[in-house]
Amino acid sequence: MARTMSRADPGSVAQITDPRAALLAAAVEILQNEGAGALTVRSVSARAGCSTTGVYTWFGGKNGLVDAIFIDGFARFGAAVDRVPERGDPLDRLLERAQAYRRWALANPTHYMVMFGKAVPDYEPSAEAMVTSLATYESLVRATARAIEAGRLGGEPNEVAHHLWAGIHGYVSLEVAGMNLGEGAAQRARQYTLGLQLLVRGCMP
Protein backbone atom coordinates (compact mmCIF):
# COMPACT_ATOMS: atom_id res chain seq x y z
CA MET A 1 0.00 0.00 0.00
CA ALA A 2 2.87 2.37 0.72
CA ARG A 3 3.91 2.22 -2.92
CA THR A 4 0.39 2.91 -4.08
CA MET A 5 0.09 6.00 -1.89
CA SER A 6 3.48 7.47 -2.82
CA ARG A 7 2.19 10.30 -5.00
CA ALA A 8 0.36 13.26 -3.55
CA ASP A 9 -3.33 13.90 -4.06
CA PRO A 10 -4.55 17.51 -4.25
CA GLY A 11 -5.55 19.04 -0.92
CA SER A 12 -2.56 19.35 1.44
CA VAL A 13 -3.49 20.31 5.00
CA ALA A 14 -1.16 23.32 4.84
CA GLN A 15 -3.01 26.64 4.63
CA ILE A 16 -6.50 25.09 4.58
CA THR A 17 -8.74 27.23 6.76
CA ASP A 18 -12.03 25.33 6.36
CA PRO A 19 -12.08 22.73 9.19
CA ARG A 20 -14.00 20.10 7.20
CA ALA A 21 -11.64 20.40 4.23
CA ALA A 22 -8.63 20.31 6.57
CA LEU A 23 -9.84 17.06 8.16
CA LEU A 24 -10.39 15.47 4.74
CA ALA A 25 -6.96 16.55 3.55
CA ALA A 26 -5.40 15.24 6.76
CA ALA A 27 -7.05 11.85 6.29
CA VAL A 28 -5.83 11.63 2.69
CA GLU A 29 -2.28 12.55 3.75
CA ILE A 30 -2.24 9.87 6.46
CA LEU A 31 -3.48 7.22 4.03
CA GLN A 32 -0.98 8.38 1.45
CA ASN A 33 2.04 8.43 3.75
CA GLU A 34 1.31 5.90 6.49
CA GLY A 35 -1.47 3.60 5.31
CA ALA A 36 -4.85 2.60 6.70
CA GLY A 37 -3.45 1.32 9.99
CA ALA A 38 -2.49 4.88 10.97
CA LEU A 39 -5.90 6.35 10.13
CA THR A 40 -7.67 7.09 13.41
CA VAL A 41 -9.92 9.89 14.61
CA ARG A 42 -7.11 11.08 16.87
CA SER A 43 -4.40 11.04 14.16
CA VAL A 44 -6.60 12.88 11.67
CA SER A 45 -7.65 15.57 14.12
CA ALA A 46 -4.07 16.06 15.30
CA ARG A 47 -2.80 16.51 11.75
CA ALA A 48 -5.62 18.90 10.92
CA GLY A 49 -4.91 20.90 14.08
CA CYS A 50 -8.31 20.49 15.71
CA SER A 51 -9.98 18.42 18.40
CA THR A 52 -11.40 14.95 17.83
CA THR A 53 -14.84 16.49 18.26
CA GLY A 54 -14.46 17.96 14.77
CA VAL A 55 -14.36 14.52 13.14
CA TYR A 56 -17.60 13.51 14.87
CA THR A 57 -19.24 16.88 14.21
CA TRP A 58 -18.50 16.90 10.49
CA PHE A 59 -18.45 13.19 9.66
CA GLY A 60 -19.92 11.21 12.55
CA GLY A 61 -16.72 9.21 13.01
CA LYS A 62 -14.02 7.42 11.06
CA ASN A 63 -16.33 5.60 8.63
CA GLY A 64 -18.07 8.87 7.78
CA LEU A 65 -14.71 10.49 7.16
CA VAL A 66 -13.66 7.77 4.73
CA ASP A 67 -17.12 7.95 3.17
CA ALA A 68 -16.54 11.63 2.48
CA ILE A 69 -13.22 10.82 0.75
CA PHE A 70 -15.03 8.18 -1.32
CA ILE A 71 -17.85 10.56 -2.32
CA ASP A 72 -15.47 13.45 -3.01
CA GLY A 73 -13.30 11.17 -5.12
CA PHE A 74 -16.15 9.90 -7.26
CA ALA A 75 -17.59 13.39 -7.70
CA ARG A 76 -14.26 14.79 -8.91
CA PHE A 77 -13.52 11.67 -10.95
CA GLY A 78 -16.91 11.86 -12.68
CA ALA A 79 -16.46 15.56 -13.41
CA ALA A 80 -13.03 14.94 -14.95
CA VAL A 81 -14.33 12.21 -17.26
CA ASP A 82 -17.49 14.12 -18.20
CA ARG A 83 -15.35 17.13 -19.13
CA VAL A 84 -14.59 15.44 -22.47
CA PRO A 85 -16.51 17.53 -25.06
CA GLU A 86 -19.60 15.92 -26.60
CA ARG A 87 -18.61 16.45 -30.22
CA GLY A 88 -17.14 14.46 -33.05
CA ASP A 89 -17.07 10.68 -33.36
CA PRO A 90 -18.74 8.93 -30.37
CA LEU A 91 -16.09 6.20 -30.29
CA ASP A 92 -13.28 8.77 -30.22
CA ARG A 93 -15.05 10.52 -27.34
CA LEU A 94 -15.34 7.20 -25.51
CA LEU A 95 -11.60 6.63 -25.88
CA GLU A 96 -10.90 10.19 -24.70
CA ARG A 97 -13.00 9.46 -21.61
CA ALA A 98 -10.86 6.40 -20.97
CA GLN A 99 -7.73 8.55 -21.17
CA ALA A 100 -9.29 11.01 -18.72
CA TYR A 101 -10.02 8.05 -16.41
CA ARG A 102 -6.33 7.15 -16.35
CA ARG A 103 -5.08 10.72 -15.93
CA TRP A 104 -7.35 11.31 -12.94
CA ALA A 105 -6.38 8.03 -11.26
CA LEU A 106 -2.65 8.69 -11.64
CA ALA A 107 -3.07 12.22 -10.28
CA ASN A 108 -5.21 11.03 -7.33
CA PRO A 109 -3.96 7.56 -6.35
CA THR A 110 -5.05 7.76 -2.71
CA HIS A 111 -8.62 8.67 -3.56
CA TYR A 112 -8.60 6.03 -6.29
CA MET A 113 -7.57 3.30 -3.86
CA VAL A 114 -10.25 4.36 -1.36
CA MET A 115 -12.80 4.23 -4.18
CA PHE A 116 -11.73 0.98 -5.82
CA GLY A 117 -9.00 -0.74 -3.83
CA LYS A 118 -10.29 -1.19 -0.26
CA ALA A 119 -7.53 1.10 0.98
CA VAL A 120 -9.38 1.13 4.32
CA PRO A 121 -10.36 -2.53 4.80
CA ASP A 122 -13.07 -1.98 7.43
CA TYR A 123 -14.79 0.80 5.49
CA GLU A 124 -18.28 0.17 4.08
CA PRO A 125 -19.68 2.74 1.61
CA SER A 126 -22.95 4.38 2.59
CA ALA A 127 -26.03 4.42 0.37
CA GLU A 128 -25.17 7.99 -0.67
CA ALA A 129 -21.65 6.90 -1.59
CA MET A 130 -22.95 4.06 -3.74
CA VAL A 131 -25.31 6.41 -5.60
CA THR A 132 -22.40 8.75 -6.33
CA SER A 133 -20.22 5.90 -7.58
CA LEU A 134 -22.95 4.38 -9.77
CA ALA A 135 -23.50 7.75 -11.46
CA THR A 136 -20.03 7.53 -13.02
CA TYR A 137 -20.78 4.07 -14.42
CA GLU A 138 -24.12 5.22 -15.78
CA SER A 139 -22.29 8.02 -17.58
CA LEU A 140 -20.07 5.40 -19.22
CA VAL A 141 -23.13 3.40 -20.29
CA ARG A 142 -24.62 6.49 -21.94
CA ALA A 143 -21.37 7.22 -23.79
CA THR A 144 -21.21 3.59 -24.90
CA ALA A 145 -24.81 3.71 -26.09
CA ARG A 146 -24.01 6.72 -28.27
CA ALA A 147 -21.15 4.82 -29.91
CA ILE A 148 -23.46 1.84 -30.52
CA GLU A 149 -26.19 4.07 -31.98
CA ALA A 150 -23.60 5.54 -34.35
CA GLY A 151 -22.67 2.04 -35.53
CA ARG A 152 -19.14 2.28 -34.12
CA LEU A 153 -19.68 -0.48 -31.55
CA GLY A 154 -22.05 -3.43 -31.42
CA GLY A 155 -23.97 -5.05 -28.60
CA GLU A 156 -26.10 -4.09 -25.62
CA PRO A 157 -24.89 -0.84 -23.96
CA ASN A 158 -24.72 -2.19 -20.40
CA GLU A 159 -22.81 -5.31 -21.42
CA VAL A 160 -20.37 -3.44 -23.65
CA ALA A 161 -19.82 -0.72 -21.03
CA HIS A 162 -19.10 -3.34 -18.38
CA HIS A 163 -16.56 -5.04 -20.64
CA LEU A 164 -14.85 -1.72 -21.37
CA TRP A 165 -14.86 -0.61 -17.75
CA ALA A 166 -13.42 -3.92 -16.55
CA GLY A 167 -10.53 -3.60 -18.99
CA ILE A 168 -9.91 0.09 -18.36
CA HIS A 169 -10.07 -0.39 -14.60
CA GLY A 170 -7.70 -3.35 -14.80
CA TYR A 171 -5.06 -1.47 -16.77
CA VAL A 172 -5.28 1.62 -14.58
CA SER A 173 -5.30 -0.27 -11.28
CA LEU A 174 -2.16 -2.16 -12.26
CA GLU A 175 -0.42 1.11 -13.12
CA VAL A 176 -1.53 2.84 -9.92
CA ALA A 177 -0.17 -0.14 -7.97
CA GLY A 178 3.14 0.07 -9.84
CA MET A 179 2.64 -3.37 -11.40
CA ASN A 180 2.54 -2.38 -15.08
CA LEU A 181 5.33 -3.57 -17.39
CA GLY A 182 6.19 -0.27 -19.10
CA GLU A 183 9.46 1.50 -18.38
CA GLY A 184 8.88 5.25 -18.37
CA ALA A 185 5.77 7.37 -18.63
CA ALA A 186 5.71 7.44 -22.44
CA GLN A 187 5.83 3.66 -22.76
CA ARG A 188 3.15 3.19 -20.11
CA ALA A 189 0.92 5.63 -21.96
CA ARG A 190 1.48 3.72 -25.23
CA GLN A 191 0.67 0.42 -23.52
CA TYR A 192 -2.57 1.85 -22.20
CA THR A 193 -3.60 3.22 -25.59
CA LEU A 194 -2.86 -0.15 -27.20
CA GLY A 195 -4.93 -1.86 -24.51
CA LEU A 196 -7.85 0.45 -25.24
CA GLN A 197 -7.64 -0.38 -28.93
CA LEU A 198 -7.73 -4.10 -28.16
CA LEU A 199 -10.72 -3.67 -25.84
CA VAL A 200 -12.66 -1.69 -28.43
CA ARG A 201 -11.79 -4.07 -31.25
CA GLY A 202 -13.64 -6.86 -29.48
CA CYS A 203 -16.80 -4.71 -29.33
CA MET A 204 -16.93 -3.58 -32.93
CA PRO A 205 -19.95 -4.70 -35.00
Per the CB < 8 A criterion, the answer to whether 27 and 66 are in contact is: yes
Note the pLDDT tens digit of each residue in 91-103: 999 999 999 999 9
Distance of alpha carbon 129 from alpha carbon 127, whole angstroms: 5
Distance of alpha carbon 33 from alpha carbon 4, whole angstroms: 10
Domain boundaries, the chain: 12-60, 66-201
Per the model's pLDDT, the better-predicted residue between 15 and 177 turns out to be 177
Give the pLDDT confidence score for residue 178 in this predicted structure. Answer: 86
- Which segment of 9-23, 31-45, 51-65, 98-112 scores lowest on mean pLDDT? 9-23
Angle ∠(138,144,145) on CA atoms, nearest 5:
90
Fold of 66-201: Tetracycline Repressor; domain 2 (1.10.357)
Per the model's pLDDT, the better-predicted residue between 81 and 5 turns out to be 81
Does the pLDDT at position 187 exceed 70? Answer: yes
Note the pLDDT tens digit of each residue in 70-121: 999 999 999 999 999 988 999 999 999 999 999 999 999 999 999 998 889 9
Distance of alpha carbon 155 from alpha carbon 36, whole angstroms: 41
Does the pLDDT at position 6 exceed 70? Answer: no
Overall pTM > 0.75: yes
Angle ∠(156,161,166) on CA atoms, nearest 5:
135
Give the pLDDT confidence score for residue 184 in this predicted structure. Answer: 87
CA distance readout (Å), 110 to 26, 130, 134, 138: 12, 18, 20, 23
CATH C-level class of 12-60: mainly alpha
Note the pLDDT tens digit of each residue in 142-177: 999 999 999 999 999 999 999 999 999 999 999 998
Task: Compute how many other C-beta atoms are within 10 angstroms of the C-beta atom of residue 115.
Answer: 23
What's the number of CA atoms in the CB half-sphere (13 Å) around residue 26?
A: 28
Does the pLDDT at position 20 exceed 80? Answer: yes
Give the pLDDT confidence score for residue 145 in this predicted structure. Answer: 97
Task: Please name which of 159, 144, 58, 76 lies closest in space to residue 115, comparing C-alpha atoms.
Answer: 76
Does the pLDDT at position 8 exceed 50? Answer: no
Per the model's pLDDT, the better-predicted residue between 183 and 153 turns out to be 153
